[in-house]
Amino acid sequence: VYDPFYCEGSVVAHLNRLGLEKVYNRKEDFYAAQREGGVPAHDVLVTNPPFSADHLERTLRFAAHDNHGRPFLLLLPNFVWRKKYYETAVEGASPVFLVPAKRYTFWSPVRAELRGRPEHERGRAASTTPFECFWYLSLGPWTEELVQGWRRKHEAQSGCTLVLGADAARAGELPERAVPPKNHEKRANPKARKKLRKKGGAGAPVAKGQIGVGGW
Q: Cα separation of 70 and 42, whole Å? A: 8
Total domain count, the chain:
1
Q: Domain for residue 4, yes or no?
A: no
Q: Over 90: is that where the pLDDT of 64 sits?
A: yes
Q: Over 70: is that where the pLDDT of 195 sits?
A: no
Q: What is the pLDDT of residue 194?
A: 57
Tens-place pLDDT, residues 100-156: 999 988 766 555 455 556 555 555 555 566 789 999 999 988 999 999 999 999 999
Q: Domain for residue 134, yes or no?
A: yes
pTM beyond 0.85: no
Q: Domain for residue 216, yes or no?
A: no
What range defines the domain where residue 154 resides? 10-198
Tens-place pLDDT, residues 44-59: 999 999 998 899 999 9
Q: Domain for residue 211, yes or no?
A: no
Using a 10 angstrom Cβ sphere, with 0-12 exposed, 13-18 middle and 19 or more buried, the burial of residue 47 is buried
Q: Domain for residue 214, yes or no?
A: no
Q: What is the pLDDT of residue 191?
A: 61
Q: Domain for residue 144, yes or no?
A: yes
Q: Domain for residue 203, yes or no?
A: no
Q: Domain for residue 1, yes or no?
A: no
Other Cβ atoms closer than 10 A to 134:
24
